[in-house]
């Protein structure tokens, strides 16, 4: 059964290829949704798929790519939107 998570990531998360790495990982895990930079310097992600794959994705988001410095991750469950793939906005 598919689940949906809304994620907001704070810290040094823009300009460090976070969006591209998250897109690659989502593809590997068979997840769908999107990632975008926000004007306040955070990243916003909506992602959906099987719960165990979402757990793996969330675990990665807590550290991100090597050059990122994640300070805080906020997440909440949402309504499944039926995304077909994972895109960078």
Query: What residues are annotated to the active site?
Result: 19, 37
Distant-in-sequence, close-in-space partners of 27: CB < 8 Å, separation ≥ 6 = 85, 86
Distant-in-sequence, close-in-space partners of 40: CB < 8 Å, separation ≥ 6 = none
d(CA 57, CA 65): 12
């Amino acid at each position: 059964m598919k689940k949906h998570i809304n994620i907001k990531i704070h810290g040094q998360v823009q300009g460090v290829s976070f969006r591209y790495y998250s897109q690659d990982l989502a593809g590997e895990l068979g997840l769908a949704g999107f990632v975008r930079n926000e004007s306040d310097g955070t990243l916003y992600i909506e992602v959906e798929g099987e719960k165990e794959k979402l757990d793996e994705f969330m675990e990665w988001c807590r550290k991100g790519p090597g050059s990122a410095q994640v300070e805080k991750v906020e997440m909440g469950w949402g309504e499944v939107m039926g995304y077909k793939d994972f895109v960078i906005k």
